[in-house]
Amino acid sequence: DIQMTQSPSSLSASVGDRVTITCRASQSVSGYLNWYQQRPGKAPNLLIYTASSLQSGVPSRFSGSGSGTDFTLTISSLQPEDFATYYCQQSYTTPRTFGQGTKVEIK
Amino acid sequence: QVQLVQSGSELKKPGASVKVSCKASGYTFTSYALNWVRQAPGQGLEWMGWINTNTGNPTYAQGFTGRFVFSLDTSVSTAYLQIRSLEAEDTAVYYCARGETSGCDYWGQGTLVAVSS
């Protein structure tokens, strides 16, 4: 199975900050890497698919990059509604493994 | 609009079975795979597997073989997750989610399955 490792596991940031979360795969997943946001008590929400494509309806402050084994999710200017947990997931092969999550908290 | 609506919370005793439903609307049911994802209390997301809504063929992740069964009723655009011989460790929120290689773009609201004697 492909292992997905996110860093950091948590971070504290202020409104307006630029935030970067990384995701590393244990082997190449080509460009098949997706990012989700999950707020407490809610279902996950797809933000970015295939590494860098912005899902419809998602604000443009979210962006994704990378290929192969190393990927990044960037929030250009953190907004109050962005405080949540973020997960990467590879969809290159089954099982479609998730990272362990990165919790973004208010500083 | 696309919706996945799941059945309500369940409280079960160890050894019992449970069947969670996921009813799709707003799109052609057989055009997209259906995934199942587990989230234990306070934990991350765990991909359980998926079912091909065209063929009915399920694929299970390791750790979800044997007691877990994915099925469909395409006549009512509904997918099902059955868990047999429930254990306390099965206590979790279970999500269905539509999608394949481009990620899961629509999710059900989640179904809490609590297992307790």
Reported as type and span, the H/E element at residue B97 is: strand B92-100
* pLDDT at B96 (0 to 100): 98
> What are the pLDDT digits (tens) for B45-64?
999 999 999 999 999 999 99
Query: Would strands B10-12 and B111-115 be described as parallel, antiparallel, or unpaired?
Result: parallel
Quick one: chain A helix, strand, coil %, rounded to 5? 5, 50, 50
B45 Cβ under 8 Å from any chain A Cβ: yes
Q: Give backbone dihedrals phi and psi of A5, rounded to 5 degrees, phi first.
A: -120, 120
Report the share of chain B in percent with pLDDT over 90. 98
Q: In the predicted model, is pLDDT for residue A102 greater than 90? A: yes
Sign of CA dihedral A50, A56, A57, A59: positive
Q: Looking at the partner chain, which of A50, A55, A87 has a beta carbon nearest the beta carbon of B45?
A: A87
> What are the pLDDT digits (tens) for A38-59?
999 999 999 999 999 999 999 9
Distance CA A88, CA A92 (A): 12
CB atoms within 10 A of CB B89: 9
Strands across the sheet containing B18-25? B3-6, B18-25, B78-83, B68-73
Average pLDDT in the B28-37 region?
Answer: 97
A95 Cβ under 8 Å from any chain B Cβ: yes
* pLDDT at B78 (0 to 100): 98
Average pLDDT in the B6-12 region?
Answer: 98
Average pLDDT in the B20-43 region?
Answer: 98
Q: In the predicted model, is pLDDT for residue B100 greater than 90? A: no
CB atoms within 10 A of CB B31: 9
CB atoms within 10 A of CB B54: 13
Yes or no, beta carbons of B45 and A38 under 8 Å apart: yes
